[in-house]
Amino acid sequence: MINILEGKSYRPIKELKTDSLDRNNLEQIAGSYEIHQVGQVNILVEGSKVILKLNDGMEYRMHLVDKKTFYIPGLDPWISFSSIKDGKFQNIYWSSTVLQAAGKRISN
């Protein structure tokens, strides 16, 4: 954004290849993931609530904002997923103003 405002060259944000989520089957995202520069995160589904738990024990509510993306207020990342195998997403993507990172499922 700063480069654009200063009239300098910039690279466009690369759009991620993510998959649609089934609002009625959020268990497909539940599990543990290892995300580069974030560490291990656990995603829990409790009824209609989706909780992201960081390695330091902090928990954040994830809000589904469209058919492919969750948002976490306070922490501020946009979270999306891809590559379903055996009914579970295998890849996770973390996008925020300070970090673009990807990770893989490490357990159910």
**What's the confidence (pLDDT) of residue 13?**
58
List average pLDDT for each run of 10 residues in the chain, which is 108 residues long.
66 71 94 97 95 95 96 95 95 93 94
- Rounded to whole angstroms, the Cα distance separating 90 from 43 reads 13
At position 38, the amino acid (one-letter code) is V
Please give the domain boundaries of the chain with CATH numbers for all domains: 20-107 (2.40.128.50)
- Rounded to whole angstroms, the Cα distance separating 71 from 99 reads 14
Structure tokens at 8: 């300098």
- Rounded to whole angstroms, the Cα distance separating 106 from 43 reads 12
- Rounded to whole angstroms, the Cα distance separating 66 from 20 reads 9
| pTM for this predicted structure | 0.84
